[in-house]
Structure 1
Amino acid sequence: MALKVVSEALSHGGRQLVLSHDSAATATPMTFSLFLPPQAEQGRVPLVTYLSGLTCTHANVTDKGEYRRSCAELGLAFLAPDTSPRGEGVADADGWDIGLGAGFYVDATETPWSANYRMWSYVTDELPTLVEAEFPMLDMGAQAITGHSMGGHGALTVALRHPDRFRSVSAFAPIVAPSQVPWGEKAFTAYLGADRDAWRAHDAVALIESGARLPALKVDVGGADSFLERELKPELLEQACIAAGQPLELAIRPGYDHSYHFVSTFLPDHLAWHAERLR
């Protein structure tokens, strides 16, 4: 599985890479970014995976996340995949909340999506296997995962179903219960079909209610987020965690919205939190 270096730049003493490859999972080319801190020149470093939100590519957090200084200081590698397959012949639909840029980190079972929309297999299997093989300085025994919005949903569900893989999990403005909000209902119906029981495997609140647990969980949401009440509903996650005895650090940040102005403000705090648990 040959990797192509799209770009490389020095930042805070580390290497910011953008790479592409042909994906077996999605049957399309895929692009991702990887920041290797300066400590990677001397030995193995922990890996933080970041899953992005609706309409995004790897480039949104890479360009606007402001994570490199913290990663360089803390000795963390930072992996950011794309949010959907792309390319000629890949299915799309009207609207920005389904289709290109909106893979929802599931393996679609419904046509036409099932041909390429296999983001669950990509982020849980193919991509980590690839970076482990190509970048031996990554310590895959010391992993954390985080994400924003749709990517927060992805981070929570990936970790809840792979609790032994991740020492810590965090999220920014996550869609915590996609089965109960319009974004998730629209995407899951299209990708997974009408059987709501099939949705539960990709719903963080449902997974916690069914017994899934995480070692550590941190969630930040902007108090002025326009999607807070309709799509995000962090209170559902809080209620599920309290009922299950699942530790949760939930912070509603007054005045902050859904944008990368919010994410970049608190991402260094999340990275420091992860670093403590990855030592």
Structure 2
Amino acid sequence: MTLELLSSAKCFAGKQQRYRHYADSLNCAMNFSIFMPAEAESEKVPVLYWLSGLTCTDENFVQKAGAQQFASKYKIAIVAPDTSPRGNNVADDPAGHWDFGLGAGFYLNATQEPYKKHYQMYDYILELFELISSNFAIDAKRAAISGHSMGGHGAITIGLKNQDKFKSISAFSPIVAPMQVPWGKKAFALYLGDNQDEWRQYDSLSLLNKSNKITPILIEQGLDDDFLSEQLRPELLEELIKNKKHQKEELDIHLNLREGYDHSYFFIASFIESHIKFHCDKLS
């Protein structure tokens, strides 16, 4: 598969690069960003996949989170894919809203017209996993996944469904119960149709409720987040964790509720080092 290098910059002794390639799963060209620490010049390094949220591209995290300094410190690569298929022929929200369509792929495989031709983001992340493993100095056996908001939802669901690939999971401000909130209900109905059995395979709470043994998960949630009560609903995750403990089925989930923090990349930048360290500890 041909990779086109779009940009490259030295950063904390490593390289921050951006590539374009054709994604078979999405039937379109896609961009992704990748940070490779200096150690990758001589050895294979572990990797963290970062999934961004609504309206983002592959560049938001790269430019705003300040993660490269810590990726360099802990000697880990970071891959940031785009959040949806792109192109003039890719269907968008019929009303032009920002919470669906372009920039809002929800990391699932659409089954409904006109979206199913391109919106196969779940498959794309796994396609990208293989692409990165084959073309970069990456140790594919030491991979983790993380994300923010819609991307937090994606990281948890993809991580749980691919525990053979991702050895740890983390999320900032994730949509933990998309079946129960407006963002998720809209996306699931348009991408997947009315059959809620199809929805459950992309719902974090549903997947966790069926699990007794899971990959370790770390979650950060700001308590001054404007989307907290309507879209994110962390109390539903807290309730599930408590119920599992009551049933003596403790899940390896750590949820940090942070006073005063909002939904922005300032929040992510404040705690990204602890998440990178969490993943590196699990991947060592």
Query: What TM-score, normalized to structure 2?
Result: 0.96
Matching residue's letter, 1:105: Y
8 Å contact kept, 1:238–1:248: no
8 Å contact kept, 1:168–1:214: no
CA drift of 1:265 comes to 1.1
Segments of structure 2 that go 5 or more residues without pairing to the other structure are: 245-249
Partner of 2:36: 36
Other structure's SS at 1:56 match: coil
Partner of 2:241: 241
For residues 231 and 6 of structure 1, what CA distance do their matches in structure 2 show?
35
For residues 261 and 162 of structure 1, what CA distance do their matches in structure 2 show?
30
Q: Is the counterpart of residue 90 in structure 1 residue 90 in structure 2?
A: yes
Greater Cα offset, 7-16 or 207-216: 207-216
Q: Is the counterpart of residue 131 in structure 1 residue 132 in structure 2?
A: yes
For residues 167 and 90 of structure 1, what CA distance do their matches in structure 2 show?
33
For residues 63 and 115 of structure 1, what CA distance do their matches in structure 2 show?
31
Q: 1:86 to 1:189 in 2, by over 3 A?
A: same
For residues 212 and 259 of structure 1, what CA distance do their matches in structure 2 show?
33
Partner of 2:256: 251
CA drift of 1:39 comes to 1.1
Other structure's SS at 1:115 match: coil
Q: Is the counterpart of residue 69 in structure 1 residue 74 in structure 2?
A: no
8 Å contact kept, 1:160–1:212: no
For residues 83 and 241 of structure 2, what CA distance do their matches in structure 1 show?
27
CA drift of 1:165 comes to 1.6
For residues 80 and 213 of structure 2, what CA distance do their matches in structure 1 show?
24
CA drift of 1:129 comes to 0.9
CA drift of 1:148 comes to 0.1
- The within-5 A match list for 1:1-279 is 1-93=1-93, 94-124=96-126, 126-135=127-136, 137-211=137-211, 213-244=213-244, 245-279=250-284
Other structure's SS at 1:57 match: coil
Alpha-carbon displacement from aligned partner over 1:122-163 (angstroms, at most 9, x marks no partner)? 002x1011111111x100000111000000000000011111
After the TM superposition, which parts of structure 1 deviate over 4 Å for at least 4 consecutive aligned residues? Answer: none
User: What is the aligned length?
Assistant: 277
For residues 183 and 212 of structure 2, what CA distance do their matches in structure 1 show?
23
Alpha-carbon displacement from aligned partner over 1:190-234 (angstroms, at most 9, x marks no partner)? 000011111000001001112264231110011100000111011
Work out the percentage of aligned pairs sharing the same amino acid.
43
For residues 49 and 249 of structure 1, what CA distance do their matches in structure 2 show?
19
8 Å contact kept, 2:54–2:98: yes
